Structure 1
Amino acid sequence: MWRIYQYTLCPFSRKVRLALAEKGVSFELVEEFPWQGRDGFLEISPAGQTPVVVWKDNECVLCDSTAIIEYFEETVRESPVLGSGPLERAEVRRVVSWFDQKFFAEVGVILLQERMYNRLIAQQPPNTHLLRQAHQAIEHHLDYIEYLLDHRRWLGGATFSLADMTAAAHISVVDYLGAIDWKTHDQAKQWYSAIKSRPSFRPFLTERMLNLAPPSYYEKLDF
């Protein structure tokens, strides 16, 4: 069986888990905190980043969420996650890049640093200036999600795809950290609620980061 080295609030790990679950690939989870720099982990992940996907006794080691998903897209034909044609796949990849790069840089990495790492590991108070910047950026990204949904059924096009999985993976982490006000983004809320209802997503709703609880509405499908 495949093993995924990850920790519960890693959005890139969530992205991979969603894609593999949608494709029907079985896996088991291995908790790994990359900031600990464990020697055994660095041997299979020189970059020291999660996720890492491993087959059996390191017979196959896959690093980087995008490379991992591309591998399974090529080797598991069931339930393609990138779309059905060149234009659709290009658009899905563009939206994936938006959330993996722009959203993570402007929102995700800041909140993980200030609300998770500083609290649990560094034991330092959060930088309120950075938190304000991240909250402002969240509004921009939710507006962009709603702009896309004004023109298509799902973020990447007519069908549910890796674009939606990637966006939901990143947003779910931010939502766990209590940083989203859904009251003014009903369209984005409906889209996210639909994804929360999928079997591939439901395990995230009950997982918890030790000593860091999510808001009470986090695991509710109707929030």
Structure 2
Amino acid sequence: MNRLFHVPLSPFCRKVRLSLAEKKVEVELVEERYWERNPEFLRRNPAGKVPILKIDGQLLTESAAICEYLEEKHPEPALLPRDPEGRYEVRRLVSWFDDKFHNEVTSNLLYERVNKKVMGAGYPESKNVKAGAKAIKYHLDYMGWLLDQRRWLAGNELSLADFAAAAHLSSLDYIRDVDWNRNANVRDWYAKIKSRPAFRSILADQIPGFPQPAHYADLDF
């Protein structure tokens, strides 16, 4: 059985979960408390990070590399375009969300509000939370601008860029940190993507101590 060692609200784990589900690759989810730095976990990945995917007799790490591996092993349905320009744009946006969005928004909101409590690492820093709440507005506006010109974030077909963005936003939506009324394009995009069968396990996540908001699993918001 394929196994994915993950943390439910990690956007990097969620991106891999969405790719696996979209490609109908069955996997057993194993929650990993990576911050405890268990020796067995560190043997799987000395970097001490999730996700880790056990598949095809291998242990794969780093979410972007895992997703590219899945694309090559399971090319249908495609999450990367065939043309170099299209592939570039998808990769650019995956990097945007996993780097810029993560550093400016996810780490300031999700990590402060949830990860610190779960890890016993103290209380949220209000200045970081305020910075994240300000930055997410800019990112939602940028997504709205992209969606003014395209059906999906990177073009006219669903791609890994959409899953990268949805992985971050769904984690933040779980803690009520996304203003879906800010941009109609983004709201409509998220409604489409969260209605996909691949999103079902994401919407079923339950985090002890952090109950789902009423709208989280509602396909009509």
- TM-score norm. by structure 1 comes to 0.95
| 2:47 equivalent to 1:43 | no
Q: 5 Å matches for 1:128-207?
A: 128-207=126-205
Partner-residue secondary structure (3-state), 2:115: helix
Separation in 1, partners of 2:75, 2:215:
36
Give the CA deviation at 1:120: 2.8
Partner-residue secondary structure (3-state), 2:59: strand
Give the CA deviation at 1:52: 0.3
Give the CA deviation at 1:157: 0.5
Separation in 2, partners of 1:39, 1:123:
21
| 2:16 equivalent to 1:16 | yes
Deviations 1:3-41 (A, max 9, x none): 000010011010001111111211110110211111111
* RMSD of aligned alpha carbons: 1.3
Separation in 1, partners of 2:184, 2:96:
21
Deviation above 6 Å: which 4+ runs of structure 1? Answer: none
Identity of aligned residues (%): 45
Separation in 2, partners of 1:86, 1:203:
32
Q: 5 Å matches for 1:41-190?
A: 41-55=41-55, 59-122=57-120, 124-190=122-188
Give the CA deviation at 1:64: 0.3
Separation in 2, partners of 1:55, 1:132:
40
Give the CA deviation at 1:187: 1.4
Runs (5+) with no aligned partner, structure 1: none
Partner-residue secondary structure (3-state), 1:187: helix
Deviations 1:90-132 (A, max 9, x none): 1000010000000001011122321112223326332111111
Q: Name the aligned partner's letter for residue 31 of structure 1.
A: E
Partner-residue secondary structure (3-state), 2:5: strand
- TM-score norm. by structure 2 comes to 0.96
Aligned to 2:214: 216
Separation in 1, partners of 2:178, 2:68:
30
Q: Name the aligned partner's letter for residue 132 of structure 2.
A: A
